[in-house]
Amino acid sequence: MSNSYIQLLEERDIKATAIRILVLKAMFEFNRAFNLPDLEIKLDTVDKSSISRTIHLFHEHQLIHSFDDGSGSIKYSICSRDCHCSMEDLHAHFYCNYCKKAFCLKNISVPKFELSPIMQVESVNLVIKGYCGQCSKFAT
């Protein structure tokens, strides 16, 4: 099992270390987007600065992408294997107003925009908000 994590890391030119494998495994276990506190809680035996350094490294090497779901903290999600975090790879995200979880909508690409020639897109944040269908909508 850890072989596939090693392979994923190496595909992104990241040297596989025990801590990086551990963090990557934890990321896969979420099945949703996560933020730094989510990982800190899940990996409570791991030093917080190592977790944060690992997130930055993974982000730099495009193993994960980040987005702003409007909750006030940056969320991260694991990239598809063929993702290069280019404009073509940008997709919408869903934020559940009830359970506060965010998910990738990888099959919904962000639309192309006609901008003035002097403008250049650097990022697009397309977040759809609503009820995820999985949580208890009326629990407060």
- Given the rule CB under 5 A, which residues bind Zn ion? 77, 96, 98-99, 104, 132, 135
Task: Give me the least distance between CB of 51 and Zn ion, in Å please.
Answer: 20
Q: Smaller CB distance to Zn ion: residue 120 or 136?
A: 136
The CA-CA-CA angle for residues 21, 1, 107, to 5°, reads 80
In whole angstroms, the minimum distance from the beta carbon of 47 to Zn ion comes to: 27
Cβ density class 47-75: b for 16+ within 10 Å, e for less: eeeebeebbebbbeeebbbebebeeeeeb
- State which residue, 47 or 60, has the beta carbon closest to Zn ion: 60
Question: Which residue, 41 or 105, is less far from Zn ion as judged by CB?
Answer: 105
- Residue 134 and residue 2: Cα distance in Å, rounded? 30
For the bound state, the minimum distance from the C-beta of residue 91 to Zn ion, rounded and expressed in Å, comes to 6
